[in-house]
């Protein structure tokens, strides 16, 4: 059991270090978008025509918080709200060309950084790390 505890302590310390470093690098990581703005753009870019309620539910946020963030992204020209075809009061979210370009630029920058950090790792290790990290994160939900 002691070996497992040591491994768990190592994981915990690594998560703390990762979190701290992510906060420090946040402005550089997201092309000067806030973490929340990037997260919302990414979600809208990944899932076809989600609603504000979908975002609030996915990230455990209040609808009013999501609405304010979406309004800012809309004002900045990165997304738009369109009417749902069968529920006129429901608005669907879509990226604009500006939003798609910004999201693509951020993702390209992130991939570049990860390539640099993981450049010496064998492809198999990168694949394993990605798979295990995804498993870890999704099991937290």
136 half-sphere exposure, CB direction, 13 A CA radius: 10
Q: Give the distance from CA 109 to its chain's centroid.
A: 14
Q: Which contacts qualify for 99-102: CB closer than 8 Å, 24 or more apart?
A: 99/41, 99/44, 99/45, 99/73, 100/45, 102/31, 102/33, 102/41, 102/78
Kindly state the tokens that stand for 48: 């076809």
Contact 61, 55 (CB under 8 A): yes
Fold classified for 32-140: Arc Repressor Mutant, subunit A (1.10.10)
Kindly state the tokens that stand for 82: 């369109």
Q: Give pLDDT tens digits for 70-127.
A: 999 999 999 999 998 888 888 999 999 999 999 999 999 889 989 999 999 999 999 9
Q: How confident is the model at residue 60, as a pLDDT?
A: 87
Using pLDDT thresholds of 50, 70 and 90, give the confidence band for residue 32: confident
Query: Which residues make Cβ contacts (< 8 Å) with residue 121, sequence separation at least 6?
Result: 129
**pTM as predicted:** 0.78
């Amino acid at each position: 059991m002691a070996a497992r505890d040591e491994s768990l302590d190592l994981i915990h310390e690594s998560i703390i270090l990762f979190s701290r470093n992510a906060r420090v690098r946040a402005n550089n990581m997201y092309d000067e978008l806030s973490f929340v703005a990037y997260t919302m753009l990414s979600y809208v870019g990944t899932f076809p025509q989600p609603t504000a309620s979908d975002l609030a539910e996915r990230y455990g946020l209040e609808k009013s918080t999501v609405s304010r963030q979406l309004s800012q992204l809309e004002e900045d020209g990165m997304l738009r709200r369109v009417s749902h075809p069968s529920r006129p009061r429901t608005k669907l979210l879509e990226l604009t060309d500006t939003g798609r370009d910004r999201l693509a630029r951020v993702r390209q920058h992130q991939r570049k950084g990860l390539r640099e950090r993981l450049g010496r790792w064998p492809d198999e290790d990168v694949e394993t790390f990605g798979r295990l990290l995804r498993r870890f994160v999704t099991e937290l939900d």
